[in-house]
Amino acid sequence: MAPPSESNPEENEALEPWTSWRRACAADLCPPEHRRALHEFAARRAETWLHRSIGRTCLPTVDPARLPPAQCWHLLESHLAVNRTRAGKRYKDWIFERSQGAGVERLDAILSGAALILRDAVRAYLHREFSRAGTLSLDQPVAGHETLGLILGDLLADGNPDHFERRDLESLARELASSFVETLDAADHILLFARASGIALSHPAVRTASGLGRSALHARYVKLVARVGEIVGDRFEEEDRETRVQLGVLTIEELKKIIILSRRPEFELLHFFQEKEGTDSHE
C-alpha cells in the first residue's frame, strides 16, 4: 500500500478508521471512534440508497431506521467474506489496492471501493427482505417497459406450442416479417444484424456502421419490437394474449433470419470485429 500522504494531514486522519479496520480484521475490534466512523460511512450511504428505493418500486415501507449503523456496516463486512479468517476477507485488500491507482486520492479510492461493495450488499438486503415471493401476479408490469404494456406473463409465454400450432405460427411470422422488413431502414438492418450475431450495441463497429450510439440503438430496438407487437395485435385481435406474444417473438426471429441471410456479405466486417473484440478492440 502506498505510504500515507505527508502533505495532507486531513486525509490521513480520515484514513485512520480504514487502516485500523484493515489491521483489526473487523470493525468491532477497532477503537470506538474508528468503529463509529465506519458505521457512519455505511449508514449514510445505505440511507441514500434505501430512500432511493422507496416509491420507485412496490416496496411498502423501507424504513432506514430499520437498519441501524452497525447493521449497515455488517452488510458490507459479510457480503463477500468467505469465512471469518483473515484469508476469507481478502476483499479488504481489493479495496485498499484501489488506492494505489494513479490520479486518484487514496481516501477517495478506498471509499469508492467500499461503497461499491456496500451498494451490492444493500441490493441483496432489499432482495432478501422485499422481493415478495408468492405474492406476484402475471399481470405485473416489467420494469422499464411499463409504457409498452409488457407484463411478466409475456416473458413466460410458452415458446414451444404443439407442433401444428407452432408450424402455423411460424408460417404467419414469416409472412409478417417479409412485409415488415420493407419498412426498415439501413440502421434497423445493422441493429437486427448485431442482435442476431451477438455483437454488443455499444461496439464501435456497430456505432460506425449505424451512426448511432448504444442508447439510441436500444431505444430503436424497443420501438421496433413494439411496432411488431402492434401489427400482430391489430391483425390478430381475436387471438389470446399468449398466442399474440408467441407470434410477435417468432416474427422478430424471422426478421433476424431475413437480415442475416440477405445482408451477411455486407456485414461481414462486423463479424470480424465481433471475433476480435474478445482480445484487442475494447473501448
Which residues ranging from 116 to 175 are in contact with other proteins (CB under 8 A)?
A: 116-117, 119-128, 130-134, 136, 138, 140, 142-145, 148, 150, 152, 154-157, 159
Nearer to other proteins, 52 or 167 (CB): 52
Give the one residue of 48, 171, 183, 262 binding other proteins; rule: CB under 8 A: 48
Is 31 among the residues that bind other proteins (CB under 8 A)?
Answer: no
CB neighbours of residue 147 within 10 Å: 9
CB neighbours of residue 90 within 10 Å: 12
Is 103 among the residues that bind other proteins (CB under 8 A)?
Answer: yes
Provide, rounded to whole angstroms, the least separation between the CB of residue 23 and other proteins. Answer: 18
Is 280 among the residues that bind other proteins (CB under 8 A)?
Answer: yes
Q: Give 96's contacts (C-beta < 8 A, 6+ positions apart).
A: 1, 18, 22, 110, 113
Nearer to other proteins, 132 or 235 (CB): 132
CB neighbours of residue 247 within 10 Å: 25
Footprint on residues 236-265 left by other proteins (CB under 8 A): 245, 249, 252-253, 256
Return d(Cα 244, Cα 224) in angstroms, integer: 16
Burial class of residue 217 in the structure, from the number of CB atoms within 10 Å of its CB (0-12 exposed, 13-18 middle, 19+ buried): buried
Nearer to other proteins, 48 or 171 (CB): 48
Is 97 among the residues that bind other proteins (CB under 8 A)?
Answer: yes
Stretch that binds other proteins, among 7-15, 19-27, 44-52, 205-213 (CB under 8 A): 44-52
Set of cell numbers at residue 194: 448485431
Residue type, 282: H
